[in-house]
Amino acid sequence: MPTYNYKCDECNFEFSVVQSIKDDPLDTCKKCGGKINRLIGGNFGLIFKGSGFYLTDYVKNKKTQGNKQKSSNKKGKQKK
């Protein structure tokens, strides 16, 4: 579940709450009871590592793998 950050308009108290995406946003401050707003941004753990995240990387990897297999097959046939 995502963590949402809130800030109170009256006392400037900031806090974070773990909520479901389906939950309604909070509207009252825990500290003073004033109106709060959900802040945009924050930490989200989305990390892309490695290759293959772009179409060009995927196609290039397929071609190089195919060429390696063809060259290994040719070497195997020559040794027989």
- Give the confidence band of 2 by pLDDT, cuts at 50, 70, 90: confident
- Six token digits for residue 65: 């793998």
Could you state, in order of their start, the residue ranges of all structural domains in the chain? 3-38, 47-80
Report whether 37 contacts 62 (CB < 8 A): no
Distances (CA, A) of 49 to 31, 46, 53, 56, 59: 41, 10, 9, 16, 17
Average pLDDT over residues 29-55: 77
Query: What average pLDDT is seen over the chain?
Result: 75
Tokens of 39: 């802040």
pLDDT value, residue 24: 92
| Percent of the chain residues topping a pLDDT of 70 | 51
* pLDDT top residue among 40 and 56: 40
